[in-house]
């Protein structure tokens, strides 16, 4: 009884700390005062407190309504704030404008519209903030539909997209609870990185994660209709973010042929309005061939063998890891495919690791014990400590990010002798 009361007090204190930290972000964001250090001083202790406070969580007391209330409060503070250390939202809003007003966001890079005086003022303002304006958009049609809806609500304004993404994220949180994650749902719902990247900065990667979680939930139902639903959700996830394609074998293996057919059909339907013109593939090719930022294993391989050889080596390494995970899944048959490990491996091998990419794996890390994922959630905000002109990270920021992650990974490997899903512990 005493231990349970102590745990509840620790969880309440953590929630108060995180609300205060996010409130400071909200206040400072409007004055441009959120620095990487400010971000880190909330993310690192906040995540550490969450991991300790939820270690012996009592799900009878730490209920879903309480979790959703605190999580919604944090996200409301994000919607009330301005984007922190990011300018990608200009591209999202520009794509929404292009989709609604011109029928497609594809085929023309924003740079082509520079100097066009016929554009409405809000569109000209968006153009002035877009980074890599010479590269066509890299976002799939599912995300474009969301950008278009945001534009219809309030053209050129970010708050509709922030609100929509926050609502989707709260829905994802409820699904994680339904899947059996209790401690993990608290870790995800109150994670400072998740709040920052979705509610403050409006990164849409959580949409892909939401669709994959829906696919997992359908897969668990083990009925013919649910199997088709799994395929549809997985296909739509790919139509949101192309990297979701690596999850298809893990979600569809063992299901009926109709499930395998449903996934490409869903992708085709999503892309159908744009098939007579350009799609996101042109921008994705540029991203895949040239972009490098804050890499882990790729950085080591590139320094040793050069960029071109490192890209090939990392593709081969990831393919090998994915194959091993798929074989392991067929032998062990875990209740939920280990997409946390899959996306973790993808990030470890990737040439670019932005903090919001963790949104791909954190929902699935909520289902399984993982020091690695939540340590990464605490340290990866240091990726913002770059030179604002050259986008070069200092050596200390690289070490401070990846050394704790490597230690956490070794500890997870040691504990993997007795793997247990979080839901079985609670």
pLDDT at 211 over 90: yes
Query: Which two three-digit tokens encode residue 88?
Result: 């990608």
Percent over 70 (pLDDT), the chain: 96
Query: Which two three-digit tokens encode residue 58?
Result: 């009592």
Percent over 90 (pLDDT), the chain: 76
How many whole angstroms separate alpha carbon 191 and alpha carbon 81? 17
328-347 tens-digit pLDDT? 999 988 888 999 999 999 99
Structure pTM? 0.93
Three-state DSSP class for 376? helix
pLDDT at 166 over 80: yes
Q: What is the domain partition of the chain in residue ranges?
A: 2-87+159-425
How many whole angstroms separate alpha carbon 189 and alpha carbon 170? 8
How many whole angstroms separate alpha carbon 169 and alpha carbon 207? 8
Average pLDDT over residues 316-335: 93
Choose the weakest-confidence range: 24-33, 59-68, 117-126, 299-308: 59-68
pLDDT at 4 over 70: no
Query: Which two three-digit tokens encode residue 166?
Result: 């926050």
Average pLDDT over residues 313-336: 94
pLDDT at 424: 38
Average pLDDT over residues 27-50: 89
Long-range contact set of residues 340-348: C-beta below 8 Å, sequence gap at least 24: 340/364, 340/365, 340/367, 340/368, 340/370, 340/373, 342/246, 342/247, 342/250, 343/243, 343/246, 343/247, 344/372, 344/373, 345/318, 345/321, 346/243, 346/246, 346/318, 347/296, 348/296, 348/297
365-383 tens-digit pLDDT? 999 888 999 999 999 999 9
Q: Are 75 and 170 in contact (CB under 8 A)?
A: yes
pLDDT at 3: 57
pLDDT at 417 over 80: no
Query: Which two three-digit tokens encode residue 292?
Result: 């490098």
């Amino acid at each position: 009884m005493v231990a349970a009361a102590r745990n509840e007090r620790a969880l309440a204190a953590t929630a108060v700390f995180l609300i205060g930290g996010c409130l400071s972000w909200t206040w400072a964001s409007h004055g441009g005062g959120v620095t990487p250090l400010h971000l880190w001083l909330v993310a690192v202790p906040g995540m550490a407190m969450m991991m300790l406070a939820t270690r012996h969580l009592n799900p009878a007391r730490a209920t879903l309504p309480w979790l959703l209330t605190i999580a919604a409060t944090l996200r409301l503070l994000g919607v009330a704030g301005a984007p922190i250390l990011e300018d990608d939202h200009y591209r999202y809003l520009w794509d929404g404008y292009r989709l609604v007003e011109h029928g497609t966001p594809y085929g023309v890079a924003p740079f082509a519209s520079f100097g066009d005086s016929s554009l409405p003022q809000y569109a000209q303002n968006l153009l002035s903030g877009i980074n890599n304006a010479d590269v066509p958009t890299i976002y799939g049609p599912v995300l474009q539909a969301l950008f278009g809806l945001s534009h219809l609500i309030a053209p050129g304004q970010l708050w509709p997209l922030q609100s929509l993404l926050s609502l989707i994220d709260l829905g994802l949180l409820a699904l994680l609870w339904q899947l059996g994650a209790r401690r993990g749902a608290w870790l995800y719902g109150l994670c400072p990185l998740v709040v920052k990247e979705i509610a403050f900065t409006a990164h849409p990667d959580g949409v892909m994660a939401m669709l994959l979680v829906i696919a997992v939930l359908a897969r668990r139902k083990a009925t013919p209709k649910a199997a088709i639903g799994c395929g549809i959700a997985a296909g739509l996830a790919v139509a949101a973010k192309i990297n979701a394609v690596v999850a298809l074998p893990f979600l569809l293996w063992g299901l009926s042929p109709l499930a395998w057919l449903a996934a490409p059909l869903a992708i085709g339907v999503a892309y159908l309005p744009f098939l007579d013109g350009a799609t996101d593939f042109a921008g994705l090719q540029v991203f895949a061939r040239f972009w490098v930022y804050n890499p882990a294993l790729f950085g080591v391989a590139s320094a040793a063998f050069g960029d071109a050889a490192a890209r090939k080596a990392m593709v081969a390494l990831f393919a090998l890891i994915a194959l091993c995970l798929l074989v392991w899944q067929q032998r062990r048959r875990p209740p939920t495919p280990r997409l946390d490990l899959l996306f973790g491996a993808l990030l470890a091998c990737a040439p670019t690791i932005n903090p919001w990419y963790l949104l791909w794996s954190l929902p699935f890390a909520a289902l399984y014990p993982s020091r690695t994922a939540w340590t990464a959630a605490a340290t990866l905000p240091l990726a913002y400590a770059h030179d604002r002109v050259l986008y070069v990270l200092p050596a200390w920021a690289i070490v401070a990010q990846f050394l704790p992650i490597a230690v956490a990974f070794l500890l997870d490997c040691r504990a993997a002798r007795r793997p247990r899903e979080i839901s079985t512990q609670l």
